């Protein structure tokens, strides 16, 4: 049944690639993968293989990749992606010796790929369960690990109709899961090679925090004299419904400064944001230091700065909660500031954790947002304590990478 699904999926990808540039990029990348491997694989080298579906999973696995590269320099690192949003952004990542797309999971592709690489260990980040690759890895006796994986009762592995597919889970040497619920679910289907280590994303955001950049334009915007610092609200990865709420508030409350780093950076979206603001606004890419000092609102119209910008904030807002789901709340929380987000957060464990720790705050409409911001505005102790709770939530859950390394030594 799985082989039929892969055949249908392959056909579907080919047809869709005729109409979608993103899918076309992925289709071409998967076919180029074997050329890249033939050019770059060193026959006598020893490889460790990491696979991440997309950029988010890569960032989750990155602390482990870099730790292994440092601790085991005798190995070379192969990094593969499934999605263009991962590969196209990180194809030049210096932490890997080879980076390419993962060819589709046919029996032929899997055999050809693994004959070329001959990995000595393989790591799959979070949700990656490729049936043919994993069965051949098991047949070859290659230690294979699932990292930062998380399981829920509604997944196919735990349904009666998933009986055949759940065999793929028995191909792993060990699971490093995020929580005890995942461990118990695996136990229910006869898998006991699981250790609860937490989520490597906590280690990653701490790395990002340490590597954060000082941004002179943002320094000028918020004010360089600590005694004159304004209260600053940072909205990251925002969408239209998010912006409708917080911009309405900041148009009225002039004692706050606003930094917006929208998820979509395009001229149409920039115009939409600007049309909603009635305060003096500057765009990061066009402003001079003198111009930016007089602005009340700063729009970040380029990529790669958000994680460094959060540290300028007194309060953070993370977008997506009125759409498909919230973005990365940990990048904000690590800076010891309270984090606000919309209602679609139930499937995001870190958001649920922040809510429980009282460092995260869910809002459903403008009224709730206004009440919360007014409280932060009026009660400096509440604002400070909420931020500390957010930061402690991240700090207390770091260390998953080292736990994984320690366990691999003991397996």
SS3 360: strand
Write down the pLDDT at residue 142.
97
Write down the pLDDT at residue 304.
84
Please tell me the chain's helix, strand, coil percentages from 3-state DSSP, rounded to the nearest 5.
Answer: 50, 15, 35
Write down the pLDDT at residue 377.
93
Q: Which ranges in 91-161 belong to alpha helices (H)?
A: 107-117, 131-139
Tens-digit pLDDT profile for the chain (411 aa)?
666 666 665 666 555 766 676 666 766 667 788 999 999 999 999 999 999 988 889 999 999 999 999 989 999 999 999 888 788 888 899 999 999 999 988 899 999 999 999 999 999 999 889 999 999 999 999 999 999 999 999 988 988 888 778 899 999 999 999 999 999 999 999 999 999 999 999 999 999 999 898 899 999 999 854 434 569 999 999 999 999 999 999 999 989 999 999 998 889 999 999 999 999 999 999 888 888 888 999 999 988 899 999 999 999 999 999 998 999 999 999 999 999 999 999 988 899 999 999 999 999 999 999 999 999 999 999 999 999 999 999 999 999 999 999 888 765
Dihedral over alpha carbons 332, 334, 335, 340 (to 10 degrees): 40
Q: Which residues pair with 297 in a beta bridge?
A: 258, 281
Q: Is the dihedral of CA 200, 99, 173, 348 positive or negative?
A: positive
Burial of 201 (0-12, 13-18, 19+ CB in 10 A): buried
What's the rounded Cα separation, in Å, for the pair 339 and 197?
25
Burial of 10 (0-12, 13-18, 19+ CB in 10 A): middle
Burial of 172 (0-12, 13-18, 19+ CB in 10 A): buried
Sequential DSSP letters for 192-223: --EEE---THHHHHHHHHHTPPP-HHHHHHH-
In this structure, are residues 49 and 123 in contact, taking their beta carbons and an 8 Å threshold?
yes
Write down the pLDDT at residue 408.
85
200: tokens are 């490597």
Write down the pLDDT at residue 99.
95
In this structure, are residues 129 and 104 in contact, taking their beta carbons and an 8 Å threshold?
no
110-148 b/e (C-beta count within 10 Å ≥ 16 → b):
beebbebbebebbbbbbebbbbbbbbbbbeeebbbbbbb
């Amino acid at each position: 049944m799985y082989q039929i699904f892969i055949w249908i999926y392959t056909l579907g990808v080919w047809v869709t690639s005729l109409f979608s540039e993103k899918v076309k990029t992925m289709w071409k990348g998967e076919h180029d993968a074997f050329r890249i491997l033939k050019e770059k694989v060193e026959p006598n080298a020893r490889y460790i293989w990491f696979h991440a579906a997309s950029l988010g999973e890569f960032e989750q696995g990155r602390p482990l990749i870099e730790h292994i590269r440092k601790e085991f320099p005798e190995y070379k690192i192969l990094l593969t992606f499934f999605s263009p949003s991962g590969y196209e952004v990180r194809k030049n990542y210096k932490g890997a010796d080879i980076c390419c797309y993962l060819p589709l999971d046919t029996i032929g592709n899997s055999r050809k790929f693994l004959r070329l690489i001959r990995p000595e260990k393989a790591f799959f980040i979070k949700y990656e369960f490729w049936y043919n690759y994993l069965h051949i890895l098991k047949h070859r006796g290659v230690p294979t690990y699932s990292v930062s994986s998380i399981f829920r009762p509604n997944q196919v592995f735990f349904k009666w109709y998933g009986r055949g597919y759940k065999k793929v889970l028995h191909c792993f040497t060990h699971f490093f899961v995020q929580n005890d619920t995942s461990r118990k679910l695996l136990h229910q289907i006869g898998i006991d090679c699981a250790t609860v280590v937490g989520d490597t994303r906590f280690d990653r955001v701490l790395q990002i925090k340490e590597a954060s950049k000082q941004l002179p334009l943002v320094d000028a915007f918020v004010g360089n004299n600590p005694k004159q610092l304004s209260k600053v609200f940072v909205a990251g990865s925002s969408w239209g419904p998010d912006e409708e709420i917080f911009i309405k508030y900041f148009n009225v409350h002039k004692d706050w400064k606003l930094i917006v780093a929208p998820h979509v950076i395009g001229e149409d979206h920039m115009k939409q944001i600007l049309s909603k603001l009635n305060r003096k606004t500057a765009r990061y890419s066009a402003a001079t230091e003198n111009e930016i000092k007089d602005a009340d609102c700063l729009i970040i119209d380029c990529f790669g700065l958000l994680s460094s910008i959060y540290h300028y904030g007194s309060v953070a807002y993370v977008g997506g909660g009125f759409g498909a789901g919230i973005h990365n709340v940990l990048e904000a929380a690590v800076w010891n500031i309270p984090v606000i987000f919309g209602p679609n957060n139930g499937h995001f464990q870190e958001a649920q954790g922040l809510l429980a720790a009282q460092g995260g705050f869910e809002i459903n409409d403008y009224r709730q947002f206004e009440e919360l911001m007014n409280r932060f505005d009026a009660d400096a102790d509440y604002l400070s304590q909420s931020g500390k709770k957010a930061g402690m939530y991240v700090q207390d859950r770091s260390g998953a990478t080292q736990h994984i390394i320690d366990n691999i030594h003991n397996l």
